[in-house]
Copies of this chain bind each other. A is one copy, B any other.
Amino acid sequence: MMRELTYWQALQEALREAMTRDPTVFVMGEDIGEYGGAFGVTRGLLADFGPQRIRCTPISEAAIVGAAIGAAITGMRPVVEIMFMDFVTLAMDQLANHAAKLRYMYGPQVRVPLVVRTPAGGGRCYGATHSQSLEAWFLHVPGLKVVAPATPTDAKGLLAAAILDDNPVLCVEHKLLYATSGTVSADAPALPIGRAAVRRAGTDVSLVTYSYYVGVALEAAEQLAIGGIAAEVIDLRTLAPLDTETVLASVRKTGRLVCIEEGTRTGGVGAEVAARVAELAYEYLDAPIRRIAAADVPVPFSPPLEQADLPTREDIVLVVRELMERA
């Protein structure tokens, strides 16, 4: 059965189904009860699952994630909501030094089935501490998986998979996606973590992106098509482990790579994608690699500056045209 769901509803459906199926799944976070969470993903869950399983916490990000780790290693499957991705900084130690490392250090006796969900991204004039896209840091944390769904179907499928996974998974959501909608199958299985999707096939250039920018890249591809340029759009979906094969296959075909992300440029996800391609598909490249990302600055509040900071469809179109002209 297919239904139209918003991204937030799809996330909630994954939570509901997991909680219904498995009594060890529970949710922790700030203001996730009656208030429904800052972006409404948990609205209604308190009434249905009660305060034991929809657990409102004090503002204590480190202890919330730490406590979730403790619960996870003792048989529970906690899902933590960190209200804005900017605040994972406070839980960085628990995530990077504990959640991600326990299995490797302690051996097979321990499993850390922890999910941390968090909204990233700007475009809402929330300023520098409420608009960041910090996912690139977590690519550099071995032991952590990172998913970043772009559609309601993926939101449900990847969150479901994250909850089923016996490893810590960071689920990066996007503020501008919560209200977007799409058809979601009621009985779709969890999506496999670690597989990218080709959202649009093309032969001239590979646009590799994820989350909110998949939509932007698709629009750019549409526009480029009018000018006769066939862009392939790859939605990474999972950032760690990265689906290198799908990216390489695309670049082998197109010979051109443009990495697109909302986070700041230096040290971003695009750097890793670019490096892998330059290592593994160098012979297939017909042009320099390009990265499109936010400037290396804190996200400015001022609406025109924020708009100027965030990559746009036009940026993509311009970069791709410039690349094609080199051929």
Residues of A within 8 A of B (CB): 86-87, 89-90, 92-93, 96-97, 100-101, 104-105, 127-129, 134, 136-137, 139-140, 142-143, 240, 242, 259, 263-264, 266-272, 274-275, 277-280, 282-283, 285, 287-291, 295-298, 300-301
Contact = CB atoms under 8 A, between A and B. Distances in A.
A201 to B, nearest CB: 24
Contacts of A295: 142
25 contacts: A89-B93, A89-B97, A90-B93, A101-B298, A105-B128, A105-B298, A136-B267, A139-B266, A140-B266, A140-B268, A142-B266, A142-B297, A240-B266, A259-B275, A266-B272, A267-B269, A267-B272, A270-B275, A271-B275, A274-B275, A274-B279, A277-B278, A278-B289, A279-B291, A282-B287
A105 B93 contact: no
A274 B269 CA distance: 13
A143 B129 CA distance: 13
Contacts of A129: 97, 101
Given A92-B90, A96-B89, A278 B288 contact: yes
A283 B288 contact: yes
Contacts of A100: 298
Given A143-B297, A275-B278, 17 more contacts: A89-B97, A90-B93, A92-B92, A92-B93, A97-B129, A101-B129, A104-B128, A105-B298, A140-B267, A140-B268, A143-B298, A259-B275, A274-B278, A274-B279, A279-B290, A280-B288, A282-B285
Contact of A297 (B104, B127, B274, B275): B104
Contacts of A104: 128, 297-298, 300
A172 to B, nearest CB: 14
A104 B302 CA distance: 12
A127 B142 contact: no
A143 to B, nearest CB: 6
B127 A105 contact: yes
A240 B87 CA distance: 23
Contact of A136 (B87, B90, B140): B140
B297 A137 contact: no
Nearest to A136: B140
Contacts of A264: 140, 142
Contacts of A89: 92-93, 96-97
